[in-house]
Amino acid sequence: MDDTWPPRDPNISSMNDLADAIHNYAIQTGRHSGELRVPDKKIRAYFILREDQVMSWIKRGIEIGHGTDLIWAWGWLSDLHSTEARHRFNAWVNPTGTKQAPYELVKDDHRRKITLKVKNEDKLKKLDLDLQSAGVEHDWIWDRGITEFNLEKTITGIVVYPIEEDSVPKCLKKLQLWKVPTGV
C-alpha cells in the first residue's frame, strides 16, 4: 500500500463516508474501474475447516478470519485475475453495487460466508484436488500455532474465493455445514 492508504480524512464520520473514501481510493489507484454493478447471481465464499482438529470456537472464528484475509488479498490483487474474478470480488464485498455501506442496503443474501467441515487433513487434501479439477479458485488456510497449535504451522482449512452460486462444484455441495453445538 502507498502513503494514501488508509484514507485519512477528518470528514469521515460514518460507514458511508468510509465506503466513499475506499471507492474513490480504488478508482484513483486503478484498483477499480469505477463501474459498480449489482451481481446477476448470488456470490458465495466458502470456508472449509477440519473437524479432527481440537480448537476453541473462538479459534475456529479466527481461522475463518484468516480465510477472509486471503479473500481480501486475492481481491486487491485481482488485476492479476480475469475481469470476471474482479467482478466476483467486488460483488462479494459490495453486493448492492452502490457506494453505501453494504449492510445498510442488502435485502437479499448476495454476501454469504458459508462454513463447511471435512473429517480430517486427508479429506481436506482430497477436496483441494477436487477443487483444482473443477477450476475453482481457492487456497489453504494456515495457522502458525501461536495460541493453540504448539507453535506448529498447521493446515486448518481451505477458503474458496467468491464464486457464483450456480458455479459451486458438487464436491462442496456434498459437505456438511458447520454448526455450533447447542449450549456452546
Q: At what angle do helices 83-93 and 57-76 cross, to 10 degrees?
A: 140
Within a domain: 164: yes
Percent of the chain with pLDDT over 90: 32
pTM value? 0.72
Write down the pLDDT at residue 15: 52
Within a domain: 10: no
Within a domain: 4: no
Q: Are 161 and 74 in contact (CB under 8 A)?
A: yes
Within a domain: 30: no
Please name every residue paired with 139 in a beta bridge, in sequence order, or none if there are none. Answer: 159
Within a domain: 53: yes
DSSP classification of residue 80: G
Peptide bond into 6 cis (omega under 30): yes
Within a domain: 5: no
Domain count, the chain: 1
Residue 90's alpha-carbon distances to 58, 76, 112, 134, in angstroms, are 28, 10, 13, 22
Categorise residue 155: left if φ over 0, alpha if ψ from -120 to 50, beta otherwise: beta
pLDDT digits 0-9 by tens, 87-141: 777 777 766 655 555 444 455 555 578 999 999 999 999 999 999 999 999 999 9
Q: Which residues of the chain have pLDDT under 70?
A: 1-40, 77-82, 94-111, 181-184
Q: Euclidean distance between the first and final Cα of the chain, in Å? A: 40
Structural domain of residue 123, as residue ranges? 43-177
Within a domain: 12: no
Please name every residue paired with 47 in a beta bridge, in sequence order, or none if there are none. Answer: 115, 159
Write down the pLDDT at residue 105: 47
Within a domain: 16: no
Residue 143: CATH number of its domain: 3.40.1490.10
Neighbours of 65 (CB within 10 A): 12
